[in-house]
């Protein structure tokens, strides 16, 4: 019999009941909650007179709507200027208080983007099943967990039953062999993968990322890669457990301690795909072929190397795809054949659950040090992923590197990743963004987002246009 | 949940691939704490020329006349056809809520994104995957016949065209059962409460650290 994949193992360890028609009840170890996709679930629970199945399995923090300027944040919840946002966050607080759910509230320094907070607190751990009403829940798969986004009805379902109704996905292995070149990061790796397989390439699959280049990534880098599995169409992305994973979890506030820790660590070491495991699909990339990436269209698959030109839609044979390309270029105000390096940049956003961890901020600060933000840039901002990341960065003096160069240093939250608060693009503005989605209007009505790594975003801020980070070090 | 048995309605052609949920319902409307009232803001950025805000009165907003749902023959559409990877991106269930609130009951495309697909069934909406070729044919038929209607029968898993052609489609048996009967998933799962409790006890033995906090 063929061996098992990591996904097979995680699935089997959580299978409560298999129905003959292929659907199954899967036990959920951890549910993460934020203010946007939960109010209707709490209301549904209340209307049906139901109680949470296991209160301690839930953990909450507001992130999508929180303001990020220090002035607005200093007055806590009451200080939120936008009424509707304030009510939504208040609603989360009330719901959590009423049911006794642990919440890192807006003025708690442990507050932050839910996908940064989970691993940071040890609330998400290897071997768990993790859900959240947010598609980037795939991030937590970096720890060797089965983590995926769900809709609000499912949030309510998990609260009420501790289970999710699911169908087993197929197995896909994305293997990145060899070593990444200097200046090329986890973000470039995942953008290159999406460029190769497309935004629907992983639909119906759970993706395991493996290979030498993936193993070589730090835990932060692995989270960046798994974060964007959903942009490749896969609800779940994951990476096998190794000593790095275990080391990362050790000592985190909610991680097991003492004897339980030893027991857990032993069990976690088995969270790898067996050597003879069979994948339904395997995609292989050579890390050495990956250059720093920049998206030029309004879908993450419309991506190229910094040294590339934007493709000519006229050369595209498939009519539906040609139409999408034309539409994307029109929206982006760009033309086929244009070198990516010539794309102007007006705003720079370093943040989001993809790239707002300490390592990301260090990488950006490294590039920024000793330089000034170009006068072509209207706004360059850095938004740490959590209050603890912010604290760490400040202890290392990174905030000074950023502010001296002309960046704004903000309070933690989702911020301009989806522009639900005041941080947004104006129509027509191009933004070098370390976030994960460049959809039309995503970062503000009419805004034009280009997804890049933190180092590339920092370099764009200094140059006022996209430049190849690999050249910057040499000048 | 609203049951879905059969449905007959006007078809609107949305000739776009990779329609994402940001497009279906832009984020500013996600600030609502309700699950109704999203219909007027469905496809907001494509539908109106100005920028939509929550609670805005849409009756006097400038319309984008080129957008399919603004064209008089499609205003009352309840079936939407689109190209591949419909509903990709954010997991927001506000997308099916907005479609449902607008009056949509059926979505037809060559493929759907997983989370969106799942969310539809929880809200009485039926997403149907047909081959690229069949979808193409439907696009042509809709465009050349004003008021083009399709009849969808979930129990029989068929779509009937005005020409009398029958197209069959696949649907997962469990989802079909729930949709046909308008069943509440949670109540169904709670029928297995004993199995869940038994699993939980075993799981706790195997992985006690998950229950320590
Ligand atoms: S940072 Fe962006 S992608 Fe991540 S959870 Fe927040 S809004 Fe979603």
Q: pLDDT tens, A116-171?
A: 999 999 999 999 999 999 999 999 999 999 999 999 999 999 999 999 999 999 99
Ligand 1 atom nearest the C-alpha of A385 is 1
Mean pLDDT of the region A327-335? 96
The domain ranges of chain B are 6-182
Nearest CA in chain B to A91: B33
Q: How confident is the model at residue A474 (pLDDT cuts 50, 70, 90)?
A: very low
Residue B124 CB: number of other CB atoms within 10 A?
Answer: 16
pLDDT greater than 80 at residue A66: yes
Q: How confident is the model at residue A5 (pLDDT cuts 50, 70, 90)?
A: very high
* Contact A416 CB / ligand 1 (< 6 Å): no
Q: pLDDT tens, B63-109?
A: 999 999 999 999 999 999 999 999 999 999 999 999 999 999 999 99
Would the CB atoms of B54 and A420 count as touching at under 8 Å?
A: no
State the SS3 of chain A. CCECCHHHHHHHHHEEEECCCCEEEEECCEEEECCCCCHHHHHHHHHCCCCCCCHHHEEECCCCCCCCCHHHHCCHHHHCCCHHHHHHHHHHHHHHHHHCCEECCCCCCCCECHHHHHHHHCCCCCCCEEEECCHHHHHHHHHCCEEEECCHHHHHHHHHHCEEEEECCEEEEEEEECCCCCCCCHHHHHHHHHHHHCCCCCCCEEEEEECHHHHCCCHHHHHHHHHHHHHHCCCEEECCCCHHHHHHHCCCCCCCCHHHHHHHHHHHCCCCCCCCECCCEEEEEEHHHCCCEEECCCCCCCEEECCCECCCHHHCCCHHHHHHHHHHHHHHCCCCCCEHHHCECCEEEECCCCCCCHHHHHHHHHHHCCCCCCCCCCEEEECCCEHHHHHHHHHCCHHHHHHHHCCEECCCCCHHHCCCCCCCCCCCCEEEECCCCCCCCCCCCCCEEEECCHHHHHHHHHHCECCCHHHHCCC
Mean pLDDT of the region A203-215? 97
Q: How confident is the model at residue A420 (pLDDT cuts 50, 70, 90)?
A: confident
Q: How confident is the model at residue A475 (pLDDT cuts 50, 70, 90)?
A: very low
**Who contacts A318 (Cβ-Cβ below 8 Å, separation ≥6)?**
none
* Contact A433 CB / ligand 1 (< 6 Å): no
Q: What percent of chain A has pLDDT above 70?
A: 99
Q: Give the closest of A36, A85, A267 to B207, CB-based.
A: A267
Q: pLDDT tens, A289-322?
A: 999 999 999 999 999 999 999 999 999 999 888 9
Kindly give the distance from the C-alpha atom of residue A99 to the centroid of ligand 1, in angstroms, as a whole number: 25
- DSSP H/E element including B167: strand B166-168
Would the CB atoms of A442 and B30 count as touching at under 8 Å?
A: no
Q: How confident is the model at residue A473 (pLDDT cuts 50, 70, 90)?
A: low
CA distances from A257 to A145, A251, A252, B213 (A): 19, 7, 9, 10
Assembly ipTM: 0.93
pLDDT greater than 90 at residue A205: yes
Per-residue DSSP letter, B176: H
Structure tokens at A110: 């442990």
Would the CB atoms of B85 and A85 count as touching at under 8 Å?
A: no
pLDDT greater than 50 at residue B174: yes
Nearest CA in chain A to B174: A21
With H, G, I as helix, E, B as strand and everything else as coil, classify residue B136: helix
Burial tier of B163 (Cβ tally within 10 Å: 0-12, 13-18, 19+): exposed
Residue B5 CB: number of other CB atoms within 10 A?
Answer: 12
Q: What percent of chain A has pLDDT above 90?
A: 95
Q: To test the ligand 1 pocket, which listed residue (A114, A132, A136) has its Cβ within 8 A of the most ligand atoms?
A: A136
Kindly give the distance from the C-alpha atom of residue A136 to the centroid of ligand 1, in angstroms, as a whole number: 7
Please state, in angstroms and rounded to a whole number, the distance separating the CA atoms of residues A288 and A188.
12
Class of domain B6-182: alpha beta
pLDDT at B213 (0 to 100): 60
Nearest CA in chain A to B22: A442
Mean pLDDT of the region B43-49? 96
pLDDT greater than 50 at residue B110: yes
Q: pLDDT tens, A104-120?
A: 999 999 999 999 999 99
Q: How confident is the model at residue A190 (pLDDT cuts 50, 70, 90)?
A: very high
Residue A70 CB: number of other CB atoms within 10 A?
Answer: 11
Chain B positions in Cβ-Cβ contact with residue A321 (cut-off 8 Å): 17
Q: pLDDT tens, A265-280?
A: 999 999 999 999 999 9
């Amino acid at each position: 019999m063929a061996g098992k994949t990591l996904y097979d193992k995680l699935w089997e360890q959580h299978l409560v009941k298999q129905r003959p028609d292929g659907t199954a009840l899967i036990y959920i170890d951890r549910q993460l909650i934020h203010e946007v996709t939960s109010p209707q679930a709490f209301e549904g629970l209340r209307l049906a007179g139901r109680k949470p199945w296991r209160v301690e399995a839930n953990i909450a923090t507001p992130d999508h709507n929180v303001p990020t300027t220090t002035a607005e944040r200093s007055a806590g919840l009451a200080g939120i200027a936008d009424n509707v946002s304030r009510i939504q966050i208040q609603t989360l607080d009330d719901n959590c208080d009423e049911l006794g759910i642990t919440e890192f509230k807006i003025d708690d320094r442990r507050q932050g983007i839910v996908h940064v907070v989970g691993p940071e607190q040890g609330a998400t751990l290897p071997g768990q099943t993790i859900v959240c009403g947010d598609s980037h829940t795939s991030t937590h798969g970096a720890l060797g967990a089965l983590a995926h986004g769900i809709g609000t009805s499912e949030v309510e379902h998990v609260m009420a039953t501790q289970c999710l109704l699911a169908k087993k996905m197929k197995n896909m292995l994305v293997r990145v062999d060899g070593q990444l070149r200097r200046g090329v990061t986890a973000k470039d790796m995942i953008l290159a993968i999406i460029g190769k397989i497309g935004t629907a390439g992983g639909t119906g699959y759970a993706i395991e990322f493996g290979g030498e280049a993936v193993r070589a990534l730090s835990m932060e880098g692995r989270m960046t890669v798994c974060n964007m599995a959903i942009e490749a169409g896969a609800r779940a992305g994951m990476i096998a457990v190794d000593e790095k994973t275990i080391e990362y979890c050790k000592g985190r506030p909610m991680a097991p301690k003492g004897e339980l820790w030893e027991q857990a660590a032993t069990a976690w070491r088995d969270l790898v795909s067996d050597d003879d495991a069979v994948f339904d699909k395997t995609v292989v990339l050579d890390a050495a072929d990956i250059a720093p990436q920049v998206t030029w269209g309004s879908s993450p698959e419309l991506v190229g190397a910094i040294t590339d030109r934007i493709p000519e839609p006229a050369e595209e044979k498939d009519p539906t795809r040609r139409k999408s390309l034309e539409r994307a270029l029109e929206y982006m105000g760009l033309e086929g054949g244009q070198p990516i390096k010539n794309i102007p940049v007006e705003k720079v956003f370093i943040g989001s659950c993809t790239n707002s961890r300490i390592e990301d901020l260090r990488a950006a600060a490294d590039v920024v040090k000793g330089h000034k933000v170009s006068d072509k840039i209207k706004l360059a901002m850095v938004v740490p992923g959590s209050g603890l990341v912010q604290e760490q960065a400040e202890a290392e003096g990174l905030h000074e590197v950023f502010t001296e160069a002309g960046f704004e240093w903000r309070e933690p939250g989702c911020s301009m990743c989806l522009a639900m608060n005041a941080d947004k693009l104006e129509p027509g503005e191009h933004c070098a963004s370390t976030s994960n989605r460049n959809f039309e209007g995503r970062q503000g009505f009419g805004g034009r987002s280009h997804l890049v790594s933190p180092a590339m975003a920092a370099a764009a801020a200094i140059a006022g246009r996209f430049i190849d980070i690999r050249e910057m070090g040499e000048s | 949940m609203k049951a879905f048995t059969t449905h007959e309605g006007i078809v609107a052609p949305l000739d776009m691939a990779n329609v994402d949920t940001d497009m279906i319902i832009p984020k500013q409307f996600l600030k609502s704490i309700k699950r109704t009232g999203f219909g007027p803001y469905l496809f907001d950025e494509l539908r109106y020329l100005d920028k939509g805000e929550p609670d805005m009165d849409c009756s006097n907003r400038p319309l984008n006349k080129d957008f399919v749902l603004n064209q008089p023959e499609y205003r009352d559409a309840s079936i939407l056809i689109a190209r591949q990877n419909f509903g990709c991106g954010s997991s927001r269930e506000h997308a099916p809520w907005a479609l449902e609130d607008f009056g949509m009951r059926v979505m037809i495309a060559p493929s759907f994104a997983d989370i969106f697909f799942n969310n539809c069934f929880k809200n009485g909406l039926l997403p149907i995957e047909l081959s690229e070729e069949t979808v193409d044919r439907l696009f042509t038929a809709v465009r050349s016949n004003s008021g083009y209607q399709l009849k969808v029968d979930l129990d029989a898993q068929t779509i009937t065209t005005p020409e009398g052609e029958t197209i069959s489609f696949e649907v997962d048996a469990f989802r079909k059962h729930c949709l046909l009967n308008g069943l509440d998933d949670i109540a169904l799962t709670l029928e297995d409460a004993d199995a869940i409790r038994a699993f939980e006890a075993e799981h706790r033995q195997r992985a006690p650290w998950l229950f320590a906090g």
